[in-house]
Amino acid sequence: MAHRYTRGLVLYMYPEELVRFGAKHTAKPEEAVSAEHYFLCIAADASGGLWTPLYQTRGQDRHYIPESAKSGTGRWIGNHAFYSSAELWTIPHKAAQRAAAVAGDKSGPKAENRVAETAVPTVEAFKAAAG
């Protein structure tokens, strides 16, 4: 599973495995996602990226990602997706790779789950929420 970790990539990952391999997040520990979730990469460099978990339901501080902006596997494109501007994760690439494998992510380099560039939130959207 050799994904190119770039803005717009979506992986199904297990948060406990992310933390185990060095990921950090901005949420209060009791409010951070804990079960498998899709995560959207909003920025990346050679060693890691900034990711936000995606939810299937509306909620406070959650913003909708249009279905038309999604591409990839049937399970990913067949569900609603909302991101929370109050939860940003810093994830090393190795942690993302491990957490996706543990969670059973079905995408691959030739069939990646993605969000179109125009629908990916900016890093600034999370800084504004953090105050």
24-44 pLDDT per residue, tens: 998 888 888 889 999 999 999
Query: How far out from the chain centre does Cα 99 lie?
Result: 11
Could you list the residue range(s) of the whole structural domain that residue 78 is in?
Answer: 9-130
φ, ψ at 27 (rounded to 5°): -80, 155
Closest CA to 56 of 46, 42, 41, 70: 70
Examine residue 91 and state whether it is found in any structural domain, yes or no: yes
Encode pLDDT of 55-65 as tens digits: 999 988 899 99
Is the pTM for the entire model greater than 0.85?
yes
Domains held by the chain: number = 1
Examine residue 21 and state whether it is found in any structural domain, yes or no: yes
Examine residue 65 and state whether it is found in any structural domain, yes or no: yes
Closest CA to 27 of 95, 88, 81, 90: 88
Confidence (pLDDT) at 129:
56
Examine residue 4 and state whether it is found in any structural domain, yes or no: no
Encode pLDDT of 104-115 as tens digits: 999 888 889 999
